[in-house]
A and B are shown apart, each in its own frame.
Chain A
Amino acid sequence: MGFATRAPAAIGLLLTALLLGAGCLMPKWLTFLITMAASHGLVSLGIVLLMRGGVVSFGQGLVFAAGGYAAALAFAQLGITDALGLTLIGGAVATLLAAPFAPLLARYRGIFFAMLTLALSMVAYGALVKVSALGGSDGFNMGRATLFGQKLPDAQVGYVLYSVTVVMSALLAIAARRCFDSTRGLVTLAVRENELRVEYLGGSVREAMAINFMLAAFVGGAGGALTVMSLGHIDPNFSYWTTSGEFVFVAILAGWQSVLAVFVASLVLEMVRSFSSLYFPNTWQLALGLFLLFVIRFLPRGIGSLWFRDKP
């Protein structure tokens, strides 16, 4: 392991420590904003993982909702209240849900992959709206999670969930970096360039794509679980296509090179969203759309390309 492989992990841990320290001083709205940015960023991280293989999922809302509903149900029905446990359950359930579709989706590329994932997420949306046991279109509330068996008092709950989210996101981000630089991660990049060559060289394109899809589902599910714990509420909109669209937005904004860029992009989106809904509530979608067009036009490889210049 040289500097190049260790540096991202070191940077990640340093940033995490900084964020944990700074969190004590931040106002509540800011910790909440960063919590949302980090947990949503995880879902986009999954899309970036897929993007490295040349496909974009327009239905990551599916795994986001799966993780969120799994965590909320485990809390309400099974009595599991530990924040870390719920995050893992969210990730695991989303992966299980994605597993049967992974080999199937691995055959599709481009627009068809995007549309098929979109269809799956909309089937889930349609089903969730109709299931009255899960609150139908209103969804349901989730109580307050615990950490290591400790109940969280009112004053600290925001900060503790913020810390959990930041630490989990950092760990998953570091794992993602390792995954990007692993043999399979590099095969994925090769698939993006030329599938046939990968097959000639003995690599399995479908296996790489299927495993990527499941890994993306895991981080997406974990992101859903972390989101629902901080929000305290879940509804079918988690799986709606405009939610998925925002995840793709962040992934495109970040570009496929840098992991850190995903979280920066997610934070940018959350900020644009909350500031524009504060100052121009009727035109915030307009602002978001113009911003997106600007990025695609002038930063085609995302904000990650600002500091990731070495590879083409």
Chain B
Amino acid sequence: MEQAVTIFIDGLTYASWLFIVALGLTLVFGVLKILNIAHGSFYAIGAYAAASFVGWGAAMKLAPGWSIVAMLLAAAAVAALLAPLTERGLLRFFYGRDEVLLVLVTYALFLIFEDLTKLVWGANPYYVSEPYALFGNVEVGRQVYVGYDFMLVGMALLVGGLVWWGLNRTRSGKIVLAVIHSEEVAASMGVKVSRVYALAFSVGIFLAALGGAFTAPMISVQPGVSVGVIIVSFAVVIIGGLGSIEGAAIGALIVGLARSLAVHVAPVAELFSIYIVMAVVLMFRPEGLFQRIQARKI
């Protein structure tokens, strides 16, 4: 029983940051129809930026509580700086091309960012331990858990709720939905599609960087974090159905629980438990759990 609680809480924590990252991925796919391999790079850059920002905060002798603000600022800075550069400067030249070719474009982008992050931050690991202790410890039964983990779960709920509200209850959200539904009709109604693309891409990148910034205290930030994250978040959005918020939430939960179950019960299976789940889901629901069936094109 106690182990079941541990597995559940571990899985939930893992699922929460994964959901934030995967939400960005699924949003970008929903609007721009690009499955973005470089999403993992933005996650990594978010983590590195958070390490730098928190470091500067500490150097200025700010109270530890400010490190949360520093991490938020880091994510926002990454999105504000890199999203327009990538979308306007590069991706827009490839719109309308084959989906798989677009995956390869972002693969090229991923390779470029891998080296750029190494050039900027070097190859040594960064540790951002400061914010991790901010929320104290929580006792559940006889086990002690770090409060930060529960804060992450709350943040994932908040972010998911905000994105849902933004898409379904605001004017600009409705416009985004219209573009997702049919870009041509939206354009003919006077919607500036390129602006919607830029907006959606920026929000997506912000979510990736946010996930990176807030996981930075839990990991050592070093080259290679981008690779692991991108493959796992692919699994999440494929399981949930590309372009679906509920799908990303359920997918993240499934992946998080499958992974923590594997870690605690059968450590040998840790690496591939996620992919087995993904393969099984794809076999029975080729379009993912939450994807609407699309008409076959003649």
Interface residues of A (CB under 8 A from B): 55-56, 58, 104, 107-108, 110-112, 114-116, 118-120, 122-123, 125-127, 129-130, 194, 196, 241-242, 245, 248-249, 252, 282-286, 288-290, 292-293, 296-297, 300
Contact = CB atoms under 8 A, between A and B. Distances in A.
B279 A119 contact: yes
B10 to A, nearest CB: 19
Contacts of B298: 194, 196
**4 tightest A-B CB contacts, nearest first:** A126-B272, A126-B271, A289-B111, A289-B112
B103 interface: yes
Residue among B99, B103, B276, B298 with most chain A CB within 10 A: B103
Nearest to B288: A112
B115 A286 contact: yes
B100 A241 contact: no
A220 B95 CA distance: 32
Contacts of B283: 104
Contacts of B99: 110-111
B105 A290 contact: no
B119 interface: yes
B294 to A, nearest CB: 11
A194 B296 CA distance: 11
A115 B274 CA distance: 13
B286 A296 contact: no
A18 B99 CA distance: 40
Given A114-B100, A114-B103, A286-B116, A122 B275 contact: yes
Contacts of B108: 288-290, 292-293, 296
B140 interface: no
Contacts of A242: 227
Contact of B104 (A122, A252, A284): A252
A242 B93 CA distance: 25
A110 B235 CA distance: 16
B153 interface: no
A285 B242 contact: no
A35 B119 CA distance: 32
Residue among A108, A123, A125 with most chain B CB within 10 A: A123
A66 to B, nearest CB: 16
Given A115-B238, A282-B119, A290-B112, A252 B272 contact: no
B234 interface: yes
B35 A111 contact: yes
Contacts of A297: 93-94
B85 interface: no
B86 to A, nearest CB: 12
B106 to A, nearest CB: 10
A293 B86 CA distance: 13
19 contacts: A55-B100, A108-B282, A108-B286, A111-B100, A120-B279, A122-B231, A122-B272, A122-B275, A125-B272, A249-B104, A282-B115, A285-B115, A288-B111, A289-B107, A289-B109, A289-B111, A292-B107, A293-B105, A293-B109
Contacts of B109: 289, 293
Interface in B87-107: 90, 93-94, 97, 99-101, 103-105, 107
A115 B271 contact: no
Interface of B: 35, 90, 93-94, 97, 99-101, 103-105, 107-112, 114-116, 118-119, 227, 231, 234-235, 238, 242, 268-272, 275-276, 278-279, 282-283, 286-287, 296, 298
A129 B271 contact: yes
A296 B119 CA distance: 25
Contact of B111 (A104, A107, A125, A292): A292
A72 to B, nearest CB: 21
Contacts of A116: 279, 282
Given A123-B276, A245-B107, A288-B111, A118 B234 contact: yes
A56 B270 CA distance: 27
B124 to A, nearest CB: 14
Contact of B268 (A118, A130, A285): A130
A119 B296 contact: no
A290 B227 CA distance: 19
A119 B235 contact: yes
B155 to A, nearest CB: 28
Given A115-B282, A284-B115, 10 more contacts: A116-B282, A126-B269, A248-B107, A249-B107, A282-B118, A285-B112, A285-B114, A286-B115, A289-B115, A293-B90
Nearest to B109: A289
B234 to A, nearest CB: 6
B101 A252 contact: yes
Nearest to A236: B271
A283 B120 CA distance: 12
Nearest to A131: B268
Contacts of A283: 115, 119
A193 B97 CA distance: 15
A53 to B, nearest CB: 12
Nearest to A245: B107
A255 to B, nearest CB: 12
A144 B7 CA distance: 48
Nearest to B287: A112
A216 B101 CA distance: 20
A120 B112 CA distance: 26
B211 to A, nearest CB: 20
B60 to A, nearest CB: 31
